[in-house]
Copies of this chain bind each other. A is one copy, B any other.
Amino acid sequence: MNSHGGAPSRGKPATLRQVAELAGVSTATASKALNGRQQVSATTRQRVLDAADRLSFTPNSLAQAMLHGSSGTVGLLTHDLEGRFSIPILMGAEDAFGAGQTSVFLCDSREDAIRERHHIRALLGRRVDGLIVVGSQTNPRRSLGHDLPVPVVYVYAPSSDERDTSVIADNVAAGRLAVQHLVGIGRRRIAHIAGDPTYAAARDREAGIGAALADAGLTQVGPSRSGSWSEAWGRTGAHAVLEAGEPVDAIVCDSDQIARGALDLLRDRGVRVPGDIAVISFDNWGPFATGSRPQLTSIDFNFQQMGRRAAELIFAALAGEPAAGTQAIAPRLVIRGSTTVGA
């Protein structure tokens, strides 16, 4: 770690006192020298810097935190077992906080309320400056309450309490975006294989799809068929769409996994994609979207941006400008082979 080696640095890390002693000054002077304050002569400063380097001195953030009043840490609470959302969101937050400035505690509550409370206690004990709560469903989740001493931002799954601050994916816009793309490439007979109808995500996407179809003067082919988020349902749903007999030239699938299932069945039936039927889906989950034949055009929900926004909202709240309510992050269309031949 230290640039020009030779330091012992075994055992306990060096303290400012040791640096000061080695440099032959007081801790006050050493502190000022290291922090670029103006009360130190150039020669003294250099002596301190050399001493700090020799000892591989790293200021103890715990002590700094106690003085400054803020710890420079944030807690990220999740119960997302697969880590599908949490990692991108965490990376976005890291970006916004500035790497090295703020560190993030990641805790997985595993859908367990007791474990969650446990983690919150621990995080508050460590005096985190804020809390980011990531849900794995889009459904609103129970609020942590308002008696917490730090700002809380809910991400992906909004808080059921409107007075809280939430950042969510804009599923309605995503639904519109999907249909607009299909219409843009000339499709007119659009069907929809939905996910689990108990999820707000499924309902919102359906609403967006309906609105965009209406805007284009079109009517959806068949009902939105609800099922689960699985590939198996994608196969079943696509089967139902074909069996209904109505001609179809595009299918919107509520997730990449559903789309994979649908592609699978269409291939079995000899239906060409995108020639006969274009397929578009949501999530843009890397390996799923790019592993298929053809690759999936998909709507990306910009998780990283959601994390960034969450961090910004925590900053704002700390600065005394809380922003209650729910903010939606705009999704992004990623075009691949399942809707266009060229791509």
Residue positions of A touching B, CB distance < 8 A: 1-2, 5, 7, 9-13, 56, 58-63, 65-66, 69, 71, 73, 76, 80-84, 86-88, 90-91, 94, 99-100, 103-108, 110, 115, 117-127, 145, 147-149, 230-232, 235, 257, 260-261, 264, 267-268, 286-288, 291-293
Name the residue on B nearest A104 (C-beta). B106
User: Which B residues lie within 8 Å of A100 (CB)?
Assistant: 118-119, 121-122
Q: Determine whether the beta carbon of A286 is less than 8 Å from that of B58.
A: no
Nearest-Cβ distance from residue A151 to partner chain B, whole angstroms: 12
User: Which B residues lie within 8 Å of A257 (CB)?
Assistant: 287, 291
Complexed CA–CA distance, A125 and B58 (Å): 6
Q: Determine whether the beta carbon of B99 is less than 8 Å from that of A119.
A: yes
Q: Determine whether the beta carbon of B103 is less than 8 Å from that of A87.
A: no
Q: Determine whether the beta carbon of A62 is less than 8 Å from that of B126.
A: yes
User: Which B residues lie within 8 Å of A69 (CB)?
Assistant: 12
Q: Determine whether the beta carbon of B232 is less than 8 Å from that of A7.
A: no
Name the residue on B nearest A69 (C-beta). B12
Q: Is the interface of A mostly helix, strand, loop or mixed?
A: mixed
Q: Looking at the complex, which one of B108, B148, B260 makes contact with A291 (CB distance below 8 Å)?
A: B260
Q: Determine whether the beta carbon of B90 is less than 8 Å from that of A108.
A: yes
Nearest-Cβ distance from residue A293 to partner chain B, whole angstroms: 7
Q: Determine whether the beta carbon of B149 is less than 8 Å from that of A61.
A: no
Complexed CA–CA distance, A76 and B76 (Å): 14
Q: Determine whether the beta carbon of B60 is less than 8 Å from that of A63.
A: no
Q: Determine whether the beta carbon of B83 is less than 8 Å from that of A147.
A: no
Q: Looking at the complex, which one of B12, B65, B122, B149 makes contact with A13 (CB distance below 8 Å)?
A: B149
CB-CB nearest 6 A-B residue pairs? A83-B83, A83-B87, A231-B291, A106-B106, A61-B125, A100-B118
Q: Looking at the complex, which one of B103, B106, B148, B286 makes contact with A123 (CB distance below 8 Å)?
A: B103
User: Which B residues lie within 8 Å of A293 (CB)?
Assistant: 231-232, 235, 264
